[in-house]
Amino acid sequence: MQKEGQLRILFVINPVSGGKGKSDWETQIRETIRDSIHVMEFFLLTGKDDESSVRNHIERVRPHRVVAVGGDGTVKLVAGILRGSRIALGILPAGSANGMARELGIPLTPAEALQVVLNGRLQPIDLVAVNDNDICIHLSDLGLNAMLVKYFEGSKGRGMWGYARAVIRVLWQKQKIHAEISTDDGSIRRGAYMIVLANARKYGTGANINPDGDPSDGRFEVVVLRRLNLVEILKALFTNRSFDPEKFEVITTTKAQIRTHRKTYFQVDGEYRGKTRQVRAEILPGAVQVILP
């Protein structure tokens, strides 16, 4: 029999997030909330058919809350599964950058983040539908950063040195995008080094690409980096300062279509999606309930 106030909480764990082994996170979670009245269930991602496996597990367990234990990719996976449901999404930041957790003000230490999962408030946030069969919870982009994501994924060296090598390679091979951008305000043509679909303000590095962004306002921003400057790029990668507004153009919209004159690198929430000549995006307002401090 379920006790009054008792919650069934399913923890979806990415086994390799943040460099920890899969048993580390489960052990830490159990030790932190072992004296609570809540029922804990654990599901470890394998990288094979994760979405349908998690869906089936949720149907069997029928949890009140599902907690993504990992980085932005894990949060994105769980958010997409919970989209449109009444089940709340918790976040235990266990990745390398944890961009969405930082955006939402969720503590980065496991014990504090777990207290948010247990005692936080529920807030609906938006998702962005991308090309009909994908979603963006945080930031997606064409061009410079997407190229960086691709090269970093393929780099033999991880960590800051691997990242630095990827940055140098991207800056050496940088290409300008010539694009037609259609939004609620009409169509424009732009030459740019990067075009961002922003449902949030900052990248995981802390770079403030979209200072006025709000993941709960029923809109997203198209951010166009028109001019390239080495100082701006270093700022984007390694600081939390805002960009020079003279080099950027920000368009607030509920839908967008971007067509480029040639195939361009594209990433969604830190996951490289290949090269494309067209991206469509539309806001999904209040699509998932998130547990916030």
Q: For the purposes of burial, counting CB atoms within 10 Å of the CB of 181, is it exposed (0-12), middle (13-18) or buried (19 or more)?
A: buried
Same domain, 195 and 250: yes
Same domain, 107 and 183: no
Same domain, 115 and 13: yes
CA–CA separation, 269 and 76 (whole Å):
8
Same domain, 21 and 61: yes
Same domain, 56 and 140: no
- Count of all residues that appear for the chain in the document: 293
Contact partners, residue 109, CB within 8 Å, separation at least 6 = none
Q: Where in the sequence is the domain holding 42, given as residue range(s)? A: 8-119
pLDDT at position 235: 60
Q: Report if residue 124 sits inside a domain.
A: no
Same domain, 140 and 278: yes
Burial 36-72 (b: 16+ CB within 10 A, else e): eeeebebbbbeeeebeeebeebbeeeebbbbbbbbbb
Residues of the chain with pLDDT under 70: 1-4, 16-23, 152-174, 228-245
Provide the whole-model pTM. Answer: 0.86
What's 3's DSSP letter?
P
Instruction: For residue 155, give the amino acid letter.
Output: S
What's 15's DSSP letter?
T
**Angstrom distances, CA of residue 167 to CA of 105, 233, 238:** 28, 9, 11
CB 71 within 8 A of CB 95: yes
**Number of domains comprising the chain:** 2
What's 153's DSSP letter?
H
> Where does a domain end: 119, 148, 168?
119
Q: To which H or E segment does residue 118 belong?
A: helix 110-119
Same domain, 58 and 114: yes
CA–CA separation, 100 and 91 (whole Å):
9
CA–CA separation, 96 and 218 (whole Å):
28
Same domain, 53 and 23: yes
Q: Report if residue 129 sits inside a domain.
A: no
Same domain, 28 and 103: yes
Q: Report if residue 16 sits inside a domain.
A: yes
Q: What tokens appear for 293 in the block? A: 């401090």
Contact partners, residue 48, CB within 8 Å, separation at least 6 = none
Same domain, 180 and 270: yes
